[in-house]
Amino acid sequence: QKLKGYYGDITEKQFRACYTEASKMKGDTSQNLIGLLEQRLDMIVYRAKFAPTIFAARQLVNHGHVRVDGVKCNIPSRRIKPGEEITLRAKAQEMALVLEAQSLTEREIPDYVSPDGTSKVVFTRVPTLDEVPYPVRMEPNLVVEFYSR
């Protein structure tokens, strides 16, 4: 529940689909699950400090303020591939919400999201569990154990 809440209260159906896909991939299922969750567009918008919270990031995407490789995208659950470029519309860059998020100092932009100016980031690679900056200790292996029943 903690993991689902951290990723913006994604639905049980979306979470299970993520788990199913992670279990079919090669390698550690819990690492794959975290990788898939971190590839969501709303998560990258949040990580890039375009929004102060994950919920604000979802709303920013829903309202069409985010472009992926220059194409408007309003689906927060869209999976971003490494190398894709995420930009904010010019109007969105002036929003108080975005300016407030960028001035926050307690959150760092992780290595796998490389900023290119203030309104553009490039998703470089899929992160591993220890690279993801969680505020508390997450244990995705317990999630894997729960869903594997």
Residue 2: what pLDDT?
Answer: 78
Here the CATH number for the domain that contains residue 60 is: 3.10.290.10
Q: Count CB-CB contacts under 10 A for residue 128.
A: 13
What span, in angstroms and rounded, lies between the C-alpha atoms of 34 and 98? 26
The parent domain of residue 30 ranges over 1-39+127-149
- Which has more pLDDT, 130 or 136? 130
Q: Which of 3-17, 20-34, 61-75 has the lowest mean pLDDT?
A: 3-17
Indicate the number of domains in the chain.
2
The domain that holds 7 is classified in CATH as: 1.10.1050.10
Tell me, what's the pLDDT at 38? 87
**DSSP letters for 55-111:** HHHHHHHHTT-EEETTEE---TTPBPPTT-EEEE-HHHHT-HHHHHHHH-SS-PPPT
Measured CA to CA, the distance from residue 133 to residue 48 in angstroms comes to 12
Residues 91 and 50 in one domain: yes
**23 and 54 share one domain:** no
Same domain, 107 and 142: no
One domain, residues 120 and 52:
yes
pLDDT (mean) for 90-105:
85
| Contact (Cβ atoms closer than 8 angstroms) between residue 49 and residue 107 | yes
Predicted confidence band of residue 20 (pLDDT cuts 50, 70, 90): very high
Give me the mean pLDDT over the 45-53 stretch.
Answer: 89
pLDDT value at 146 more than 90: no
Task: Give dist(CA 60, CA 66) in Å, integer.
Answer: 7
> Are 32 and 46 within one domain?
no
62 neighbors 15 (Cβ within 8 angstroms): no
Average pLDDT over residues 7-30: 88
101 and 88 assigned to the same domain:
yes
Reported as a pLDDT band with limits 50, 70 and 90, residue 69 is: very high
